Amino acid sequence: MALRPTARTDVNRSAILAHLGAHGPASRAQLARALSLSPALMTQLSKDLLTDGLIRELAHQPSQGGRPARMLGLVASAGRAVGVKIADDHVAVVEVGIDGTVLRTASEPFDPAASTMLAELVDRLRRFIAGGSDTPLLGVGVGVPGDVDAQGTGLVNAPSLGWTNAPIGATLRRELGLPVLVENNVNALAVAERLYGLGRRHDDALIVTIGTGVGAAIVLDGGVVRGSRGGAGEIGHLPVATNGPVCTCGNEGCLETFISESALVRIARERGVIAPAAGISALRAAADAGTTAATEIFSEAGHQLGRALAGLVHVLDPEIIIVLGEGTADWSHWSFGFEPAFRAALMPARRGVPVAVETWQDDSWAQGAAALVLATPFDAEGLAGEQGRLVRQRLVEQAAAPGESA
């Protein structure tokens, strides 16, 4: 493919801002190296950004053998973003600063199958946004448990929510008058992980979530893989056994039927480890208390996950596997089965692939969605399309004239 020099300055100015936001203050020389731009251009661009009030000069850094670097830092009030996580029973919303820090959170019950669903969603977001600070709001990121045709369009197919071609992006955009980016929730998480988490240092990573279900996002050559219809990363329906429980998808032996939360609960009930009406918390408590039958259930799940991920390491050759999600709270129990199965199933040449478990917070999903907005400056290939351009535009415009914010 040829280079896309369209709107280069726009992309480069934003890339500087994003880099400062993601990696903290940096010198002009560091930025030039990181973004593959000439020092000459960095001088020019940083001058513009300084006069626009988007960045400012910080203290000098001690010399590293030559002239000491004058650091550049973001002006924190330059912008903020709103992230939305849509689940099958609630909506979580967060407001994050341009540097990725969470400023405000909210969570409310929500019925995605209701006919008034879209109006309700708009209403909730309007109220949340109204309560925010007065720094420019750059846009809204939405994470959904399903396939999204394109981030900028935001047409969602999510069987678990009962959605078929739900026009989330277009509707929110029209009603809120803001740039809106919609993406699969695991992919959004991967974007956040790449900006702020461990993925920052890895251009090829496999990001796996465990919780109510199991999901994955694929980072290759620094970008999150979407696939032809935005559906890449669906590892829950990898066949891992020739005969096994019947999955919701109609098949036997899907990975999900062994390791999803409901699968663990089902197994625990069958084996009498927990009461017929008890749930995952009972199983977790039993395992934490050292009940062998309970820890075995987690360990077996870890075993299945380990084998499946080893297969994916062979297919994708990532540098690292990063595990996230509500289920990571029980990782100590999973790892008993995971580690031996994973390592044994790997070819010798791949046996060194590290597996990292990131700390998980309640609002991580929504934070990931917000990262969609804050990541747009990196989006040179136009993954976010027109909406990404609008986000960049708002960042530059509103900072230049901070008076009328929507």
Partner DNA sequence: TATGGTTTGTTTAGTTCTGAATGAAGGGGA
Partner DNA sequence: TCCCCTTCATTCAGAACTAAACAAACCATA
Residue 73 or 231 having the CB closest to a second copy: 231
Binding site for a second copy (CB under 8 A): 1-6, 8, 11-12, 15, 35-37, 147, 157, 159, 202-204, 216, 218, 220-223, 225-242, 249-251, 307-308, 310-312, 314-319, 344-345, 347-350, 378, 380-381
The reply to whether 6 sits near DNA by the rule CB under 7 A is: yes
Asked if residue 34 binds DNA (CB under 7 A), the reply is no
* Identified binder of DNA from the candidate list 1, 40, 289, 347, rule CB under 7 A: 40
Residue 28 touches which of DNA, a second copy, none (Cβ within 5-8 Å per kind): DNA
Residue 7 as a binder of DNA (CB under 7 A): the answer is yes
Contact flags string 49-68 toward DNA, x per CB under 7 A: -----------x-xxxxxxx
**Least distance (Å) between residue 36 CB and DNA:** 7
Measured from the CB of residue 137, what is the shortest distance to a second copy in angstroms?
Answer: 25
Binding DNA (rule: CB under 7 A), the pick from 70, 124, 343, 350 is: 70
Verify binding: residue 36, DNA, rule CB under 7 A: yes
Q: Is residue 393 near DNA by the rule CB under 7 A?
A: no
72 vs 192, beta carbon nearer DNA: 72
> Is the Cβ of residue 78 or residue 305 nearer to a second copy in the bound state?
305
Q: Which is nearer to a second copy, 137 or 323 (CB)?
A: 323
Which of the choices a second copy, DNA, none does residue 60 contact, using the CB cut-off of 5 to 8 A by kind? DNA
Environment class of residue 160 by beta-carbon count within 10 Å: exposed (0-12), middle (13-18) or buried (19+)?
A: middle
Closest distance to a second copy from the beta carbon of 33 (Å): 11
Q: In whole angstroms, how close is the CB of 400 to DNA at the nearest point?
A: 14
Cβ-based nearer residue to a second copy, 104 or 343:
343
Which residues are at the interface with DNA (CB under 7 A)?
Answer: 2-9, 11-12, 27-30, 36-47, 60, 62-70
